[in-house]
Structure 1
């Protein structure tokens, strides 16, 4: 297969034919000189931020501060499809590595580079039509929920308000509506993509079907840069958020009962079982809750919550339900009920934004097709409680899948995990005052050991949007039997491997 470096030379010819060539190509082994960067800026409708720019430190940020040490040679804020094409032309003519960035939430930091960051956050339109909604890759979940909710439309959405559509939909897109509406990518009608050679294609079930298949679960940054999605609308009659809190002494009953309850729960109901230590000091009592959403009325929800309590065999310490509807219910999950939409963005996104960035955090996840046996629950609980360290934050949560997402066969889209019943997601977080090498090593040691214990009972598959740099089996874990077809699509649409990162397809 032709190497990525070859395309830095060879792909330039195709881009020149499209009228996007840049004169004075530099060596592919070195980054471009000042003149070439200035020429790129003149070609852009948007803005090019260089290390000498006053706002460079803001422009290079991802969601997590742990990647702040990576210093891109430039960040291009693309405002048009033409801007994206110009960036690809520049990168290939000048031997500059380039990656797309929409929301900057990659757990592996794969949406940044020491080369050119092609930022599509300003391609953030949300246009709600009668039957479909057109969404830009830079539209964040909070923008989508607000715009769709205002028109009485419901779209499958994720959990974090500042995740953008660019990566969310390409990775599949799970969230509170997965069981009822399917994955986010299941609503896609068409996708507009700029390929590495600068061509702009629209793919759907009727054109470029193999690319359309790959973009529904293949993961962001693999095949091209998406500039437009068209999503089929759904109607949500109502949405009720619920939370049940439990005494930690009953944790095994809760985890086992939640697993027993899930297969019989209606698909209108999402669910999570969360174990948390906000301070992992030896004497701290963990948090234990089950929560989720129900697409229906509070009266209908009551019976289903009664069934959950019955399966657990214990009465909760607290039980609460809020009938907020789709828009306000999602804003509640985002912790933005008291905020405007502008405020419900990460600081720096706009002048009113208030949400903080994340710091040092490691996430690891596996998918499950069957309930964890009683002995396995004991082992996972012991791993959660092991190696307590004051100040550290740790979570394990089980997140319900299945329902409408499982109506689609494993190979019908690139998202292969259709038969997963739930995920088990682990996270460890350090407060800023504790972020040092020693504490990082301790946090990593805990999560790696807990992951090893948990993985014994999993399907050995991982949701690709929860990308994990430490997975040795990532090809099998993310894509399983769909990987060979993804490689074939990669060779068709990015034959020289221009879009390249540590866990890229190909």
Structure 2
């Protein structure tokens, strides 16, 4: 029985996607940033016009790309594309266009894509990519539209909107196959009817595709592994419209890259298949301490995590602030077991009893619904954020520096450092087993600003706060999470560590002409 009535998750959560899963862009659109000068990349027009297709014939799809690029599309060209599609093409001036261009963050509503293809299936995706190549348009795939940097939209781009591709098929062998527009809330609704689950994040409107491609951190990852660990196969449409069926036995290099390599590279995913796991009930708990105990909670939480937290337990740490004082809390769940023992261990490691405690039992569906934040998890909102992968302990003066940095916020809105625990079932695969590199890390931390205002001055304060937080964690950070991208990162390799060069080579193989060329993509 709960110590108190079940709390409202919306009142406890800081963030657009509770705690961990702004999946970033969906389909195969990623969200990372690196600095590029004018000389870093040849334009696709220059590359193809110079007859470079032969020089780059190592790519599996090179021979099918045109050797010259047509001028920009005219009205008749757009009309011909619209006639080809089973879905819809939306252009500026159409009423539906202005609704369709919106992503989860209202700040991106000012972007004006040249066109939006609302794909009905893989054939539409292939047609859209061929059109983009022919007319030198930058393709921007989308399903969930939760990219931290708005990577699934832009001015003058061709948005390949997969959000209407929402098929979910549960099979007798307990696997599930989905289309790229499937959202996490809908996926779990179907799986729960069969008593099954896939370890995912919790925000219900996040696209399953984008989350998977970045790795997929969530409340069941210590129990079952990352979302990408459940992936057994995928279909990818290459930049020339060619189809690749990917698994551990077929196009295994591309399959490796799909599991944690982010998006915006290689092609557009149009089908994903997963193994599923038993959906277990959970006992949820929330513990809070006064501001004076922030150092104790930060260090004690790590001590417990590193000292034997069982894989059925998951507990993340929040350091919340609206400026000045920092409020520490831990929210966790014990799957198919009582939370009492874990709370006792956490309290012992911290060395101070919590000032607030809540415990209650939920079915699996109820637990996922609560972590999703109810209606608040579906509301569009603006935020600014970044991340670090915690590779070394945050004790002593470094812990103090982090707490000071979190409390230094001086803008409109509130901030949080949200630490998600690694370990458990995430750890047995080697760091190079999938493109997700950080399995042996302690945790990831999301530095999150809930923007009370989107004025230029407040956005500048958010950027300055993020910089202070990165400085405070210092060398204890070994990288960043590709689903929590930020403009301040200087190079995409920060998100991949030792797997970066292998990903670059795979990208050059499957997209040799850099069709998926954006400031957020792997270099070609």
TM-score by length of 2: 0.85
The structure-2 alpha-carbon separation of the partners of 1:225 and 1:387, relative to structure 1 and needing over 3 Å to count, comes to closer
SS of residue in 1 equivalent to 2:480: coil
The structure-2 alpha-carbon separation of the partners of 1:490 and 1:302, relative to structure 1 and needing over 3 Å to count, comes to same
Q: Distance in 2 between matches of 1:375 and 1:287?
A: 18
- The corresponding residue for 2:312 is 268
Q: Distance in 1 between matches of 2:462 and 2:61?
A: 46
Map 1:3-14 onto structure 2 (within 5 A): 4-5=44-45
- The corresponding residue for 1:471 is 489
SS of residue in 2 equivalent to 1:293: strand
After TM superposition, give the deviation of residue 388 of structure 1 in Å. Answer: 3.1
Q: Distance in 2 between matches of 1:104 and 1:446?
A: 25
Identify the match of residue 162 of structure 1 among 184, 205, 218. Answer: 205
- The corresponding residue for 1:402 is 423
Identify the match of residue 336 of structure 2 among 270, 278, 296. Answer: 296
Q: Distance in 1 between matches of 2:63 and 2:474?
A: 51
After TM superposition, give the deviation of residue 456 of structure 1 in Å. Answer: 3.4
Which structure 1 residue ranges, 5 or more long, are not aligned? 346-354
Q: Is the 8 A contact 2:446 2:484 kept in 1?
A: no
Identify the match of residue 463 of structure 2 among 427, 433, 444. Answer: 444
Q: Is the 8 A contact 1:8 1:91 kept in 2?
A: no
SS of residue in 2 equivalent to 1:92: helix
After TM superposition, give the deviation of residue 426 of structure 1 in Å. Answer: 0.7
Q: Is the 8 A contact 2:47 2:513 kept in 1?
A: yes
Identify the match of residue 128 of structure 2 among 78, 83, 87. Answer: 87
Question: Is 1:381 equivalent to 2:403 in the alignment?
Answer: yes
Q: Distance in 2 between matches of 1:240 and 1:70?
A: 43
SS of residue in 1 equivalent to 2:278: coil
Q: Distance in 1 between matches of 2:475 and 2:341?
A: 34
> Could you report, residue by residue, the CA deviation over 1:180-200 in whole angstroms, capped at 9, with x for unpaired residues?
111100011110110111111
> Could you report, residue by residue, the CA deviation over 1:96-124 in whole angstroms, capped at 9, with x for unpaired residues?
21111111111121111321000111112
Q: Is the 8 A contact 1:236 1:295 kept in 2?
A: no
- The corresponding residue for 2:348 is 310
Map 1:351-366 onto structure 2 (within 5 A): 355-359=378-382, 361-366=383-388
- The corresponding residue for 2:391 is 369
Question: Is 1:492 equivalent to 2:509 in the alignment?
Answer: yes
Question: Is 1:326 equivalent to 2:364 in the alignment?
Answer: yes
Q: Distance in 2 between matches of 1:293 and 1:7?
A: 53
Q: Is the 8 A contact 2:196 2:276 kept in 1?
A: yes
After TM superposition, give the deviation of residue 240 of structure 1 in Å. Answer: 2.3
Q: Distance in 1 between matches of 2:505 and 2:141?
A: 21
> Could you report, residue by residue, the CA deviation over 1:344-366 in whole angstroms, capped at 9, with x for unpaired residues?
88xxxxxxxxx32112x211111
The structure-2 alpha-carbon separation of the partners of 1:494 and 1:231, relative to structure 1 and needing over 3 Å to count, comes to same
SS of residue in 2 equivalent to 1:470: coil
TM-score by length of 1: 0.88
Q: Distance in 1 between matches of 2:102 and 2:272?
A: 25
SS of residue in 2 equivalent to 1:162: coil
Identify the match of residue 417 of structure 1 among 438, 442, 448. Answer: 438
Q: Distance in 2 between matches of 1:467 and 1:495?
A: 24
After TM superposition, give the deviation of residue 403 of structure 1 in Å. Answer: 1.4
State the structure with bigger RCO (CA 8 A, min sep 6), 1 or 2: 2
- The corresponding residue for 1:349 is none
Identify the match of residue 101 of structure 2 among 57, 60, 75. Answer: 60
- The corresponding residue for 2:81 is 40
Which structure 2 residue ranges, 5 or more long, are not aligned? 1-40, 54-59
Map 1:38-437 onto structure 2 (within 5 A): 38-113=79-154, 114-130=156-172, 131-263=174-306, 264-277=308-321, 279-280=322-323, 286-298=326-338, 301-336=339-374, 355-359=378-382, 361-389=383-411, 391-431=412-452, 434-437=453-456
Q: State how many pairs are aligned.
A: 471
After TM superposition, give the deviation of residue 15 of structure 1 in Å. Answer: 9.7
The structure-2 alpha-carbon separation of the partners of 1:8 and 1:46, relative to structure 1 and needing over 3 Å to count, comes to farther
Structure 1 outlier segments of 4+, above 4 Å: 6-11, 14-18
Q: Distance in 2 between matches of 1:25 and 1:407?
A: 47
> Could you report, residue by residue, the CA deviation over 1:408-437 in whole angstroms, capped at 9, with x for unpaired residues?
101111111111111122111222xx3212
